[in-house]
Structure formats: structure tokens, C-alpha cells
Amino acid sequence: MRKRKSSGGTEQSEETNGGERSLGQGQGYRGEGGSTVRVVRVSAVGWLCLGLAVGTVCGGPWLRDLVDLIYGYRWNHTDRCIMETPEDTGYGVDFCRTPVDCGVCRDVDRIEEVDVDNLSVEQFEERYAYTSRPLVVRNASINWPAMEVLDYHWFKNIYLSDPEILEKEGDECWFNRYKTPEFRNLRSVFRLSDSRVSMQSGRPWYVGWAVCHEKVAEELHKLYQRPTFINPESTPPKKPWIFIGTPGPGAHFHVDNVDLPSWQAQLAGVKTWYLRPPPECYWSCPGNLQTTLYPGDIIVVNTNVWFHSTKVTGSELSVVITNEYD
């Protein structure tokens, strides 16, 4: 080993061993063949490994799941829409919807109520029809023949009157068994025992379906009409939906994917409705809303905007008929 003066006047050590020369950490040395070999600091390797680890963690799928959990919904980054699940399990994708303009619920802190005699067509159109503001209209269907006629046995008799009626299937024949697993289709609904229908035995049950069968729809139209507060020039009701079930759980919290806002008439039994704003409006709109419908009442709600669930209360079978309006 020998010492030499640097240009700054300090001394540096220099070791020669077979043509190799140590010049300090992070620098290089020239080997016997004249090639230069770079020495990488151990600290640099550590930072590189740490960067790879952070990138792997932050770019992993769990981070996206965490963000979805914080926001309260699953975002489709490709189509830029919110994915909705078909059930309350959180699995699967039913449809992808456009985020809601939170202005429709920002000032809605309750479900308003009005008697049908105090609600004109003009008032309904101005404040409720197209604003997504939910409304309960009391005594709106008390004069419909359906109030006295429609029950489980009426539907069973007409659906079983012609074997071909229940053979019709397709997307227009929507059916939802909700939390009644033994209901595979509409046919199985009409196989219930009388004691189960009358709630004398078995577990609670609840079901909904679209009336896609022409004969049934024609007979139903004889028993109800367009609510008096809806504009007479509105498209006449076409394909109704039926929701029927015993006291107990009804529909789980969900949002619909239908063409238009709708009204739902409580023909029998008592049902409580629960509404909440869509999750993207959590910080902009008030919290959950609640109301109870009795026979003769109609609720008007845009189910494409408001997440909703129901519960049948009281002691009687609940029967509801639903239709859209434009």
C-alpha cells in the first residue's frame, strides 16, 4: 500500500493487488483486462426492492377492493359506471349504471304524504312526477275493483286456467323469489298449500313477477286504472308487476334498472318501505327514509335512483300492483 496526494492536498490510500485498485464505495475499478466494473451500493438495491414491493402492494386488486369499500360501490373503470349486484351477497354483476346527480335527493329528508283528493295532475307533475321526489298518496286506489278481488287465489286460478299461460318465458317475464329459495318459478308459487298461504304453517314467503301473459294482463286491466293524479295523456299502463307475500321480509335493499319511474298500489296488507340515497350521494343527501302503506295507498318512487327495501307488517297477506308512467 502506498499513499498519494490528491489535488486537494489530502491523502488517499491506494492498494494494488494483481492489477486491481480500490477507489472507494460506489465507484468502479479497472481490472487486468482494462474493462471497467461498476459497483452498486447495497443501499440502492434495498431501495429498488422496496419500490417493487410498494408498487406490487399498491397495484394489487385488494387496493381496488378497499377503495370500493370506502366509496360504498364498485366502479367499472372501463365503462365508467357503477356495478350493481343481483342479490345482497355482493357477488356477481346484474347491471352497470350511470352515477346519479345528487341534486335529486339533496333536499329530500322525508317521504311526503298527501290525500288523493288534495293532489291535482298539475301539482303532481310540477313537484313529483319527474323530480325523483318520493311521495305517498293516501286513499288513491280505494275505489278500484282490485281492492276487493285480487288475492293469491285469484292469481292462482287465472294462471292455472290455461296450461299454456305458464309456458311463456323470456326476459319480459321477470321473476324474483327474493328470500324464498323453494320458489324456482311462478308455477312453484301456485303449488303452495292453503295452510302456507294463510300463514298457518311454514316460513314467511315473498315473491314478485312481471305480468307478461296477455290473458292475465287483460283481466287485470279490468280491475284497476291509471291513478287520477297522473296525466290522462300519459301512456296507458301496459305490463304490470305483482308483489305478494306474507308478513316478514320483503325485498332486500337494491336499485332497479327499469325504463321509467313507477307507482305501486297497496291492495291488501300493510308494507313498510325503506329508502336511502345511492352510495355516491352519501355525503350530499340526508339519510334513510321510511313510510308505511295501508290498503288503498300508492307510493310513487323512482326505483332507478332510490335504493329501496320492503317489509310486510301486520297480520295479512300483502298484495301490490305496480306500473310505470311517462
CA 97 vs CA 83, 84, 315: distances in Å: 6, 7, 37
> 82 with 75: CB under 8 angstroms?
yes
Put the strands of the sheet holding 307-313 in their side by side order. 248-249, 307-313, 270-276, 289-293
pLDDT in tens, the chain (326 residues): 555 555 455 555 544 444 444 444 445 555 555 666 666 566 766 777 776 666 655 555 555 555 555 556 677 778 777 777 765 544 444 778 888 899 999 999 999 999 999 999 999 999 999 999 999 999 999 999 999 999 999 999 999 999 889 988 888 899 999 889 889 999 999 999 999 998 888 899 999 999 999 999 999 999 999 999 999 888 777 789 999 999 999 998 888 888 888 999 999 999 999 999 998 898 899 889 999 999 999 999 999 999 999 999 989 999 999 999 98
In the numeric block, the cell 328470500 is attached to: 179
- In angstroms, the CA 209 to CA 100 distance is 26
pTM of whole model > 0.95?
no
CA distances, 239 to each of 71, 140, 153, 187 (Å): 36, 20, 20, 19
Can you say how many angstroms the Cα of residue 214 is from the centroid of all Cα atoms in its chain? 30
Q: Which amino acid is at 187?
A: R
Q: How far apart are CA 286 and CA 108, in angstroms?
A: 7
**Quick count: other Cβ atoms within 10 Å of Cβ 7?**
5
3-state secondary structure of 262: strand
Sequence-distant (6+) residues with CB within 8 A of 19 are 30, 31, 32
Of 141, 142, 166, 168, residue with least CA distance to 155: 166
Q: How far is C-alpha 149 from the chain's CA centre?
A: 34
Separation CA 284–CA 281 (nearest Å): 5
Long-range pairs for 187-195: beta carbons < 8 A, 24 or more residues apart: 190/155, 190/156, 190/159, 190/160, 192/152
pLDDT of residue 224: 95
**Distance separating alpha carbons of residues 109 and 291, to the nearest angstrom:** 12
Q: Which three cell numbers stand for residue 23?
A: 477507489
In terms of C-beta density within 10 A (0-12 exposed, 13-18 middle, 19 or more buried), how is residue 89 classed?
exposed
Residue 8 corresponds to which cell in the numbers above?
486537494
Rg (CA), the chain: 34
Output the pLDDT for position 201.
87
Instruction: Give the per-residue pLDDT at 148.
Output: 95
**Structure letter (DSSP) for residue 139:** T
How big, in percent rounded to 5, are the helix, strand and coil portions of the chain? 25, 25, 50
